[in-house]
Amino acid sequence: MFTIAKYEGIQLLRDPLVLLMSTLIPLAACGFIYWSLGSANIALAAVFVPFFMGSFVIYGSSVTTLAARRQNLFLKRLRCTSESSAGIVIGLILTFILLAAAETIGMITVFSILQTPPSNFFLFIVAVTLVLALYVGFGLATAGVTKSPDSAQVTTLPVALGVMGVAFWVAVSGTETLTLLKLALPGGAAAELLLGAWQGTQWQEAAIPLIVTVAWTAIAFVASKFFFKWEPRR
Amino acid sequence: MTSNTLIEAKELSVRYGDFIAVDRLSLAIAQGELYALLGTNGAGKTSTLETLQGHRGPSSGRVAVFGADPRDIKKVRPRTGIMLQESGFAPTLKVAETVQLFGDLSGRIDDARRVVDVAGLSDKANVRVSQLSGGEKRKLDFATAIFGNPELIFLDEPTVGLDIGARDQLWAAINEIRDQGCTIVLTTHYLEEAEQYANRIGLMHHGKIQMEGCFSDLASSFPAKIHFEAAAEKAAIPFPVEAEGPYAWAISTENAERDVFELQSWARQQGIGIHGLSVRRANLDDIFRTLSH
């Protein structure tokens, strides 16, 4: 897994434009959101960060990379080695996962310095980890139904926009109304979890959104096992 | 399974829904052997190979490589190199980096530069894969398969896209690793390669191995051919002949000596000159054509 990740990293470094865009654009977007929402809404900005990083750095890049590697038969080549299936797939996207994690940690650290850190720090870390994992699972599942890197522009739209849209809806409007719907939709419970953790929700109160978020992450990974393809359809 | 059998398939079947791609196939490949698995299009070679390589399981029957299920990649893959017919590489990685990447993933240890040299890519070691020609990519495929001197190598159409010189070079490298005791499973559409290099040949058709053996045994069970040129009409020649060109003929024969004598006697009696007379035993082309029909 780490061998594959190392060489994916080398390839990323050899494409400076892609590297720059993967790093600067998400950071700039998060900075803009913080500035737009204002310091009074730091919790909302903190919810936005992992969803944005997950959606664009992990999800979009993973789907495009896996579709490209499948289309050019590089995946097929890797399957002839001693590396496990899971090791191959995670190795190919590990660079993006680490980039998203680093950028998320960086932005939250900046928010914490500018304002205050999350009140329930460990719950917030768990929530961020689950959100990023959720996007990894969705990425693997979507890659299975994405024929080529070109079609990734279309196949990623529902999850990229839908999940983030739900997260914002929940973060902005709360869960006093339409509680069941907001918590059940993908991203809703995770947003509630992040917001609550930043504002000081305790573990017991966070149980339901935590369970729902874990369930959605599990669903995403089960779907990825079902949908993922190693070779282009003949 | 005898002690030196490396690959064994017993009553192997591979089905895709109602379609039977491989139909109760049995084979055994000994250590150190170069076994050529040939077959008509759609014969089931790819499905057989993918099962032997551990990419899929059998629908029924049994497969063992090194005595283990080939899907047990931790046990089998470190001892196996695979050169696919078609596969891709990361375009921005260099040749030596690519060999090192797949070498590291193979579970074996070797020097990437040595492997690059053996594959005939010494002058391309620092060139990006995207800049290689098709033939050079085949050599790179070969290099990644032989990294670390595996005990077993699958070579799927290894010389496709190579010019004559590169083919000879590649076969020299293959024969060298074979001399070191490597077991090789070869598929190729260049039948002369199988004739020349394989210890045994398995001919597949409709999901089964229809014929198996060393080339000379397979050829001896088919008639030889007498080739000649004679300015005569087909009906006038006292043998069932096939036309091979203007006044060029071929006769299938079970007894070449007798038939050549009779042909020459007839030609003398008729005052017809015979040119380019030769006798050729059956080759894989002939065997293949018989199999397909």
- Please tell me the predicted confidence (pLDDT) of residue B148: 95
If you measure CA to CA, which chain A residue comes closest to B154? A80
User: Are B202 and B27 spatial neighbours (Cβ–Cβ below 8 Å)?
Assistant: yes
Is the Cβ pair B73, A72 closer than 8 Å? Answer: no
User: Which among B53, B73, B89 is the nearest to A77, CB-wise?
Assistant: B89
The answer to whether A73 faces chain B, any CB pair under 8 Å, is: yes
Burial class (CB in 10 A: 0-12, 13-18, 19+), B92: middle
CA dihedral (A164, A169, A171, A172) in degrees, to 10, reads 130
Rounded Cα distance, A144 and A70, in Å: 10
Give the model's pLDDT for residue B41. 82
Alpha-carbon distances, residue B154 vs A201, B7, B35, B50 (angstroms): 59, 12, 10, 10
The answer to whether the beta carbons of residues A224 and A140 sit under 8 Å apart is yes
Q: Splitting chain A (234 residues) into consecutive groups of 10 residues, what average pLDDT does each group show?
A: 94 87 85 82 89 93 93 92 93 94 93 89 94 95 92 92 92 86 90 91 89 94 90 74
* Strand extents, DSSP E, chain A: none
CA distance B199 to B106: 27
Average pLDDT, chain B: 91
Q: Least CA distance to A2: which residue of chain B?
A: B105
Query: In this predicted structure, what is the pLDDT of residue B143?
Result: 95
On whether the CB atoms of residues B82 and A76 are closer than 8 A, the answer is no
What are the chain A neighbours of B84 within 8 Å (beta carbons)? 73, 76-77, 80
**CA-CA-CA-CA dihedral for B208, B211, B213, B214, to nearest 10:** -120
Q: Which residues of B lie closer than 8 Å to A, measured between beta carbons? A: 53, 55, 73-74, 77-78, 82, 84, 86-93, 97, 101-102, 104-107, 144
**CB-CB: which of A4, A7, A82 is closest to B77?**
A82
CATH for B5-219, options being 3.30.479.30, 3.40.50.300, 3.40.50.1240, 1.25.40.10: 3.40.50.300
Share of chain B above pLDDT 90, in %: 64
Q: Token match 């000994």: residue?
A: B30
Cα A65 to Cα A9: distance, rounded to the nearest angstrom: 12
The angle, 0 to 180 degrees and rounded to 10, between the axes of the packed helices A121-144 and A85-114 is: 140
Judged by DSSP in three states, B42 sits in: coil
CA angle A155, A157, A163 (to 5 degrees): 125
Distance from CA of A19 to the nearest CA of B (A): 14
Q: What is the pLDDT of residue B203?
A: 92
Nearest CA in chain A to B79: A82
Q: How many CB atoms lie within 10 A of CB B29?
A: 24
What pLDDT, on a 0 to 100 scale, did the predictor assign at position B14? 94
Per-residue confidence (pLDDT) for residue A21, from 0 to 100: 81
User: What single DSSP character describes residue B130?
Assistant: G
Query: Which of A7, A73, A80 lies at the smallest CB-CB distance from B101?
Result: A7
What pLDDT, on the 0 to 100 scale, is given for residue B293? 67
For B189-215, the pLDDT digits (tens) are 888 899 999 999 999 999 999 999 998
Band of pLDDT at residue B51, cut at 50, 70 and 90: very high
A72 in reach of chain B (CB within 8 A) = yes
Of the residues A6, A13, A77, the best mutation for testing chain B's interface (the one with the most B CB atoms within 10 Å of its CB) is A77
Q: Is A82 close to B102, i.e. CB distance below 8 A?
A: no
The C-alpha atoms of residue B13 and residue B10 are separated, in whole angstroms, by 9
The answer to whether residue A231 neighbours chain B at the CB level (below 8 Å) is no
- B87 with A81: Cβ contact below 8 A: no
Computed on alpha carbons and rounded to an integer, the radius of gyration of chain A in Å comes to: 18
Q: Do B87 and A7 touch (CB under 8 A)?
A: no
Q: Read off the pLDDT of residues B4-45 as tens digits, 9 standing for 90 and up.
A: 899 999 999 999 999 999 999 999 999 999 999 998 888 899
Show residues of chain A in contact with B101, CB under 8 Å.
3-4, 7
Contacts of B182 (CB under 8 A, 6+ apart): B32, B149, B150, B151, B152, B153
- A55: region left, alpha or beta (phi > 0 left; psi from -120 to 50 alpha): alpha
Q: Does A205 lie at the interface with B, CB-CB under 8 angstroms?
A: no
Tell me if B150 sits within 8 A of B79, measured CB to CB.
Answer: yes
Q: What pLDDT does A155 receive? A: 93
What confidence score (pLDDT) does residue B189 get? 85
**Interchain CB distance below 8 Å, A78 and B105:** yes
Answer yes or no: are the C-beta atoms of B124 and B136 closer than 8 Å.
Answer: yes
Locate tokens 């590697």: which residue? Answer: A69
pLDDT at B3: 67
Return d(Cα B15, Cα A50) in angstroms, integer: 46
pLDDT of residue A33: 85
Q: Report DSSP state, residue B68.
A: B
- The interaxial angle of helices A157-173 and A188-199, nearest 10 deg, is 40
The arithmetic mean of pLDDT across residues B216-223, rounded, is 84
pLDDT, position B2: 58
Option in A11, A73, A82 nearest B87 (CB): A73
Element at B34 (helix H, strand E): strand B34-39
Distance between CA B52 and CA B80 in Å, rounded? Answer: 11
CB within 8 Å: B84 and A77? yes
Using CA coordinates, name the residue in chain B closest to A71.
Answer: B88
> What does the alpha-carbon distance between residue A63 and residue A140 come to, in Å, rounded to a whole number?
7
Residue from B66, B89, B101, B151 to probe the interface with A (highest A Cβ count within 10 Å)? B101
Q: Where are the domains of chain B?
A: 5-219, 222-291
